[in-house]
C-alpha cells in the first residue's frame, strides 16, 4: 500500500515537471498552423484577384466580339462578290464594276453600198467602269463611264449619272442622266444581249441617254409603269453619245444637226408592261439562261413625245410609239418589238413616218452553256430624203423611200464557266443588212451599208 502511494506521488510530480514542456510544444504547433492559414488566405486573395482580372478580360472580349459581330451585321466591311464592294452602317453600299467587250469583225460590203470598202479588224467595243449602291437605305445611285473605244471615237464619255429615291415599296424617283423610259431592247443591259450587239432596226428608233427625271411604279409583280420628263430625246441633237445617227432631220431639213443642238422644250416618255405569266422582272435581260421552269409572257407599250421651237423646226411635233413582247420557258426565248416614229411637220418640214420591227429567238441547246440565236428585222420609211451618219457628219447618202431596210442574223453564245455566267461570255454572229438608215459604231454598221458582217466577241465583267 505504502509502495503504491509512493509510485503515485512520483507520477504526479513527473506530470507537474513535464506539463510546461508539453504546453510549449502545443503552442508552437498552433502558431505554425496559424501562420500556414495566414499564408493560404494570402494566396487565396491573390488567386481571387487574378480570377477577377481574368473574368473582366473575358467580359471585355465578349463585348468587343458582340460589337464586331453587330458591325459585321450592319455591313461595315469590304470584299468581293461579283465585283468589289464597301459596306457601312445605315445601309451604305458602294459597288465597283468593270466590263470589257473585245471584238473582231469582218464586213464584206456590196459594191453598191454607200461605202463599199471592206472593214476588218480588232476593236474594244466597250470598256466601261461603273459604281452603284446606296448612300442610305432609301437613296441609291449610279455613275458609269465608257473609256476610249470606237463608239466614243477614242474619248472618255459619261454615260449614266443619277440618284434615286425609293419613296416606298411601290414608288421610286430618279434624277440625272439616264436612258429614257422607251423601248425594251435599248434598255436591256449591254452585257445581257443575245447577239454581239443590238439590232440595226432598233438603232434607228432608239434614243440615247438624256438628262431629266423619271418615276417608276410597280404595285405587284405583274404591272410595271415608268414615265419621264427630259430635256430632249435626241430628236434635235442628243446630249450624249451616238444617237445623232438617229436624226432624220439631218436630211429632212437640209441642215445637219450637231450634237448638243437641243431646243428648250421638254420631252415626255411613258412605258407600261404587264406580265400575263411570270413577273415583269423575268422579262428583262435577253435569253433564258436560267431556264425558267414556269412560262414567262410579258407585253409592253411605250410612247414618246417632243415639240420643238427651234426656228429651223418650229411647230414640229414628233411621236415615238412601240409595242413589245417577251416569252421565256426552259431555255427558249422569243422577243419582238414594233416601232413607229411619226413627224407632224412644222417650219417647212413635211409630215413623215417610219415603221419597223425586230424579232429574235434563242434556245440553249446545252443548258446554261451554249445558246443558238436568230434575228430578223424590217423598216420602211415614206420619206425620200438623205441621211447623214453621225460619225461621218457631212457625208450625204441617198436612200430612196422604196428601199426597205432589212436585217437577218444567226449567232451563238458560249458560257465557258457556268458559275461566272454573263461575266464571261463568247459570242459570234453573222448578219446581212440592206439599206441601213441609221447606224452606230458599237454595231459596226453605218448608214447606207449593204452586205455581210461577221463578228466575234469576248465579254469579261467583274
Q: Are residues 119 and 204 in the same domain?
A: yes
Q: Indicate the residue among 23, 56, 74 that finishes a domain.
A: 74
The number of domains in the chain is 2
Per-residue model confidence (pLDDT) at position 257: 38
pLDDT for 182-227, tens place per residue? 899 988 999 999 999 999 888 888 888 889 999 999 988 999 999 9
Q: Kindly state whether residues 129 and 188 are assigned to the same domain.
A: yes
pLDDT of residue 342: 85
What residues make up the domain containing 429? 75-461
Q: Measuring CA to CA, how many Å separate 70 from each of 11, 92, 136, 282, 448?
A: 85, 15, 18, 35, 62
Cβ 97 vs Cβ 83: under 8 Å: yes
Global pTM value = 0.76
Q: At residue 436, what are phi and psi to the nearest 5 degrees?
A: -70, 130
Query: 244: which 3 cell numbers?
Result: 445623232
Residue 382: pLDDT band (50, 70, 90) is low
| Domain termination residue (choose one: 41, 74, 107) | 74
Residue 407 and residue 315 share a domain: yes
The reply to whether 114 and 66 lie within a common domain is: no
Q: What is the CATH number of the domain that holds 176?
A: 2.40.160.10
Between CA 136 and CA 397 the distance in angstroms is 51
| Strands 157-166 and 139-146, bridge-based pairing | antiparallel
> What is each CA distance from 110 to 390, 428, 440, 445, in whole angstroms?
22, 22, 19, 13
Q: Looking at the structure, do residues 62 and 79 belong to the same domain, yes or no?
A: no
67 and 178 in a single domain? The answer is no
Are residues 9 and 41 located together in one domain of the fold? Answer: yes
Per-residue pLDDT at 442 = 77
Are residue 50 and residue 177 in the same domain, yes or no? no
Reported as a pLDDT band with limits 50, 70 and 90, residue 413 is very high
pLDDT band, residue 446 (cuts 50/70/90): confident
Average pLDDT, the chain: 79
CB 387 within 8 Å of CB 250: yes
Same domain, residue pair 99 and 69: no
Task: Determine the 3-state secondary structure of 62 from DSSP.
Answer: helix
Residue 298 sits at φ, ψ, to 5 deg, of: -130, 135
Indicate if 293 and 437 belong to the same structural domain: yes
Do 183 and 134 lie in a common domain?
A: yes
Do 457 and 101 form a contact (C-beta atoms < 8 A)? yes
List the beta strands (DSSP E) in 278-402. Answer: 296-308, 316-329, 332-344, 352-366, 370-381, 386-388, 396-398
d(CA 147, CA 96): 15
Q: Render pLDDT for 45-79 as a digit per residue (tens, 0 to 9).
A: 767 666 777 677 767 666 655 554 554 555 578 88
Mean pLDDT of 387-414: 63
Together in a domain, 64 and 80: no
Q: Is the pLDDT of residue 254 over 50?
A: no
From 74, 109, 128, give the residue that closes a domain.
74
Confidence of residue 276 (pLDDT cuts 50, 70, 90): very high
Amino acid at each position: 500500500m505504502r509502495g503504491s502511494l509512493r509510485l503515485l506521488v512520483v507520477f504526479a510530480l513527473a506530470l507537474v515537471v513535464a506539463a510546461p514542456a508539453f504546453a510549449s510544444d502545443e503552442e508552437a504547433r498552433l502558431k505554425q498552423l496559424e501562420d500556414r492559414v495566414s499564408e493560404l488566405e494570402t494566396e487565396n486573395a491573390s488567386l481571387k484577384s487574378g480570377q477577377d482580372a481574368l473574368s473582366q478580360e473575358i467580359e471585355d472580349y465578349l463585348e468587343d466580339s458582340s460589337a464586331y459581330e453587330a458591325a459585321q451585321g450592319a455591313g461595315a466591311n469590304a470584299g468581293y462578290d461579283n465585283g468589289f464592294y464597301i459596306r457601312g452602317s445605315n445601309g451604305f453600299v458602294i459597288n465597283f464594276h468593270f466590263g470589257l467587250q473585245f471584238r473582231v469583225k469582218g464586213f464584206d460590203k456590196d459594191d453598191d453600198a454607200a461605202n463599199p470598202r471592206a472593214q476588218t479588224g480588232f476593236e474594244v467595243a466597250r470598256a466601261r467602269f461603273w459604281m452603284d449602291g446606296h448612300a442610305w437605305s432609301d437613296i441609291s445611285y449610279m455613275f458609269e463611264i465608257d473609256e476610249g473605244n470606237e463608239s466614243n471615237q477614242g474619248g472618255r464619255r459619261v454615260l449614266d449619272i443619277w440618284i434615286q429615291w425609293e419613296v416606298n415599296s411601290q414608288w421610286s424617283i430618279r434624277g440625272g442622266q439616264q436612258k429614257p423610259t422607251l423601248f425594251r431592247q435599248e434598255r436591256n443591259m449591254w452585257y445581257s444581249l443575245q447577239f454581239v450587239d443590238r439590232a440595226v432596226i432598233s438603232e434607228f428608233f432608239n434614243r440615247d441617254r438624256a438628262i431629266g427625271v423619271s418615276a417608276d411604279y410597280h404595285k405587284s409583280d405583274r404591272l410595271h409603269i415608268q414615265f419621264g420628263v427630259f430635256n430632249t430625246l435626241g430628236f434635235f441633237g442628243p446630249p450624249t453619245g451616238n444617237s445623232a445617227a438617229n436624226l432624220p432631220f439631218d436630211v429632212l431639213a437640209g441642215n445637219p444637226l450637231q450634237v448638243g443642238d437641243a431646243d428648250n422644250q421638254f420631252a415626255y416618255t411613258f412605258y407600261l408592261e404587264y406580265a400575263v405569266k411570270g413577273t415583269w422582272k423575268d422579262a428583262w435581260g435577253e435569253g433564258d439562261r436560267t431556264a425558267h421552269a414556269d412560262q414567262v409572257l410579258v407585253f409592253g407599250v411605250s410612247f414618246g413625245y417632243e415639240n420643238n421651237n427651234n426656228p429651223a423646226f418650229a411647230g414640229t411635233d414628233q411621236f415615238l410609239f412601240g409595242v413589245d413582247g417577251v416569252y421565256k420557258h426552259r431555255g427558249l426565248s422569243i422577243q419582238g418589238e414594233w416601232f413607229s416614229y411619226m413627224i407632224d411637220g412644222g417650219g417647212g418640214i413635211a409630215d413623215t413616218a417610219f415603221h419597223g420591227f425586230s424579232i429574235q429567238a434563242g434556245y440553249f441547246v446545252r443548258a446554261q452553256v451554249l445558246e443558238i440565236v436568230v434575228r430578223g428585222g424590217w423598216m420602211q420609211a415614206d420619206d425620200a430624203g438623205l441621211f447623214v451618219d453621225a460619225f461621218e457628219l457631212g457625208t450625204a447618202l441617198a436612200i430612196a423611200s422604196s428601199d426597205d431596210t432589212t436585217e437577218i442574223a444567226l449567232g451563238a453564245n458560249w458560257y465557258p464557266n457556268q458559275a461566272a455566267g454573263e461575266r464571261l461570255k463568247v459570242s459570234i454572229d453573222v448578219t446581212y443588212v440592206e439599206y441601213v438608215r441609221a447606224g452606230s459604231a458599237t454595231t459596226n454598221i453605218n448608214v447606207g451599208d449593204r452586205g455581210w458582217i461577221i463578228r466575234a466577241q469576248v465579254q469579261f465583267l467583274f
